[in-house]
Structure 1
Amino acid sequence: MKILIPVDGSANAQRAVDYVINNIATLKDAPQLLLLNVQWNVAAGNVKLFIDQATIDGYYREQGAAALQAARAALDAAALPYQYHISVGTPAEAIARYADEQAVDQIVMGRQGQGGLQALLLGSVVHKVLHLTSRPVLLVK
């Protein structure tokens, strides 16, 4: 079984990681855990005229690693193996695409991410994932 856990560094995303850790013993076989962080594409428009691609890629890696840090630490402390990936794009589309590419059996995610004004303007990532994927999605409060 493959379980995808999208992580954005929020408390809600961490609750999803903690839920998986606390309930993994209920599964018959140990699942393959996949962490995914999606970075918004900042290299739009004329940005590339002023900042080179290597700097932009470094920014994505740095921000993604920071967002994944708590989730990775929790999984390491629980001695659970996992893989992680940092993607660039629109979060909901990237989550649905990665779930399909990796043929995951379930997506486990917090009911909302970093939210706030961004969620009001862009819509809920969770809501969009639910509409974009045919994979089972478990929402953790």
Structure 2
Amino acid sequence: MKILVPIDGSKSSKASLKKAEELGKKLDADLLVLTVTPEASIFEQYPTNFAYALEVDKANTERAKHILKEAEEELSSYPHKVETFFTTGNPAAQICKFADEKEVELIVMGNRGLGAFSRTLLGSVSNKVINQSKASVLVVKADI
């Protein structure tokens, strides 16, 4: 069995990682940990901001690596296979696409993401994944 855990470094995603670890141990499941960084393509239409877009991409990549490294450390004693991935794009679409490609049976994700503004935005990510994914989705509510 494969469990996908999309994370963004938020308190909610850390709670979902813990829950996925608990479930994974009981189900003898492999964990696939994914983080999705936003695209800086909005800046590409303005040539004067090209260098800025590259810096944003670089910062997003570094952040993704940091988030995944923390997850690997958290799961260092996990008894089954753990793989980490990051991609760029629309979070809900990328999570669903990844789940399909990797033939994931369960997605375990948080209900809220980072920041006050993103709460509404990322809350909708879990909602979109619930409605669009072919896999079952467990939404973990964290004390925020």
> Shorter-normalised TM-score: what interval?
0.7 to 0.9
Aligned position for 1:62 = 62
1:102/1:121 Cα in 2 relative to 1: closer, same or farther (>3 Å)? closer
Q: Which of 29, 32, 42 is the matching residue for 2:30? A: 32
Q: Which residue of 2 aligns with 1:4?
A: 4
State the identity as a percent: 32
Q: How does 1:100-139 map to 2 (within 5 A)?
A: 100-120=100-120, 124-139=124-139
**1:43 counterpart residue number:** 41
Maintained 8 Å contact 2:108/2:138: yes
What count of residue pairs does the alignment treat as equivalent? 139
Distance 1:133 1:115, change over 3 A: farther
CA shift digits 1:14-40 (9 cap, x unpaired): 11111122333322xx21210100001
Determine the C-alpha separation between the residues in 2 that align with 1:7 and 1:122: 11
Q: Give unmatched runs, 5+ long, in structure 1.
A: none
Partner of 1:95: 95
- Structure 1 window deviating more from structure 2 (81-90 vs 70-79): it is 70-79
The one-letter code sitting in structure 2 at the alignment partner of 1:11 is K
Root-mean-square deviation over aligned CA pairs: 2.4
Cα deviation for residue 121 of structure 1 reads: 5.4
Taking structure 2 as the reference length, the TM-score comes to 0.82
The structure-2 alpha-carbon separation of the partners of 1:51 and 1:129, relative to structure 1 and needing over 3 Å to count, comes to same
- Conserved in 1, the CA contact under 8 Å of 2:31 and 2:81? yes
1:12 maps to a residue whose letter is: S
CA distance in 1, matches of 2:70, 2:81: 15
Alignment CA distance shift 1:20-1:48 (3 Å): farther
Amino acid across the alignment from 2:17: V
1:59: Cα distance to partner? Answer: 3.1
* Structure 1 residue ranges, 4+ long, deviating more than 6 angstroms after superposition: none
